[in-house]
Amino acid sequence: MNLVRIENFFKENSIPAFRLNQIRDAVYKQYATDWEEIKTLPADLRASLAEKEGRLLSISPEEILVSQNHDAIKFCFRLRDGHKIEGVLMNILPEKWALCLSTQVGCAVRCAFCATGKRGLRRNLSPEEITDQFIFAADHLKKLNGCKIHSVVFMGMGEPFLNYNSVAEAIRIITSPELIGLGRRHVSVSTSGHVPGIRAFAKEFPQCNLAFSLHAADDVLRTDLVPLNARYPLSQVAKALQDYIAATHRKVFIEYVMLDGVNSSRSMPDKINDYLRTISAPKYFTINLIPYNRTGGPFRAPAPERMQIFQGLLQELGWEVTIRKSLGDDIAGACGQLAGR
Ligand code: SAH
Ligand code: SF4
């Protein structure tokens, strides 16, 4: 829903402003997904809004898939122009659900291991298309089990900082108390290393969380895996993260996809250690090792024991390290599997 557009329509037609507040509350607080659900509006106004605006939300569900153990729900949405995107609700703790949002149709970064990047970038999402994923998922969850969305992670399709303005506006809508009202500490953005984006995010959203997808601590391998590294090499990202920590005093989450025989050998923890120490002390980082999820490429995840050894080596060097549990890989809803096909 685009409140600004509706506001203009109301001004042009001299519709009183309190009607706008009714729509705002119905959508952002009650998670209405259809004009007909906004019963506080007179029926004729609902009808003229439906005629003028089309559907209330800019996205419509094509398919909803539930993982076998019910801890992940994947939504496939169709946009007004026919493109498709995906979002995933994940049950991270008892009664606690995190929503993974998409920010672009496809992705221009084209990491070697990621399904989203396979066909490049189709287009950016608008703020409305990002926040409508939240409204739809929140309504679904409310009806399913009465739970509210606990946190939002911008880790779906797309590189958030290559669509910075829409992502920033979506975060404002999601976190403004008079709009959706989720706490800023419950919002995390993951970037493949877009330096201007990290800098802008530090200024504008110092209370939100930042994750950096490292995947390799030397430039040659990292450029192979994450082509954006050619534009923003590790040394530049290090400076941006240093400034981020100095400005926000917040921890940075380091993501590391484990690819067998590529970036998971026993010599890698030392390189990671050296690199991160050039930025800041270990207390400012949590390293998340992500087992590679299949996307049809040549990669494989290392055996679980090997990942534990890798984790142990980093821990001995002083780092806090977790191995991420893959939720929803049976419905192609795990990290890197979202393709919007
Ligand atoms: N574009 C952003 C955010 C979306 S991807 C970024 O790259 O950070 C979210 C996370 O999933 C990133 O850390 C990404 O590297 C990881 N990922 C991508 N493909 C994956 C795969 N096949 N298996 C596991 N993790 C993957
Ligand atoms: Fe884009 Fe992130 Fe996938 Fe890389 S991992 S292609 S940056 S969505």
Domains contained in the chain, number: 2
Q: What percent of the chain has pLDDT over 70?
A: 100
Inside any domain, residue 336: no
**What tens digit of pLDDT does each residue of 134-147 get?**
999 999 999 999 99
pLDDT digits (tens, 9 = 90+) for 6-23: 999 999 999 999 999 999
74 and 41 inside one domain:
no
State the residue range of the domain holding 268. 59-331
Site to substitute for ligand 2 among 85, 88, 110, 259, most atoms within 8 A of C-beta:
110
Q: Determine the distance separating the centroid of ligand 1 and the alpha carbon of 157, expressed in angstroms.
A: 9
86, 128, 129, 255: which is the annotated catalytic residue?
A: 86
CATH of the domain at 160: 3.20.20.70
Same domain, 229 and 286: yes
* Span 262-267, average pLDDT: 97
Co-location of 13 and 154 in the same domain = no
Average pLDDT over residues 109-132: 96
Q: Supply the pLDDT for residue 110.
A: 97
Question: pLDDT-derived band of residue 338, with 50, 70 and 90 as boundaries?
Answer: confident
pLDDT of residue 200: 98
Question: Is position 7 annotated as part of the catalytic site?
Answer: no
Mean predicted lDDT score pLDDT of the chain: 96
**pLDDT of 316 higher than 90:** yes
Q: Tell me, what's the pLDDT at 339?
A: 82
Ligand nearest to the CA of 121: 2
Q: What pLDDT score does 341 carry? A: 74
Entry pTM: 0.97
Q: Check if 133 has its Cβ closer than 6 Å to any atom of ligand 1.
A: no
Domain assignment present for residue 337? The answer is no
Can you give the chain as a three-state secondary structure string?
Answer: CCHHHHHHHHHHCCCCHHHHHHHHHHHHCCCCCCHHHCCCCCHHHHHHHHHHHCCCCCEEEEEEEECCCCCEEEEEEEECCCCEEEEEEEEEECCEEEEECCCEEECCCCCCCCCHHHHCEEEECCHHHHHHHHHHHHHHHHHHHCCCEEEEEECCCCCHHHHHHHHHHHHHHHHCCCCCCCCHHHEEEEECCCHHHHHHHHHHCCCCEEEEECCCCCHHHHHHHCHHHHCCCHHHHHHHHHHHHHHHCCCEEEEEEECCCCCCCCCHHHHHHHHHHHHCCHHHEEEEEEECCCCCCCCCCCCHHHHHHHHHHHHHCCCCEEECCCCCHHHCCCCCCCCCC
The number of the ligand nearest the C-alpha atom of 213 reads 1
CA of 170 from ligand 2 middle (Å) equals 19
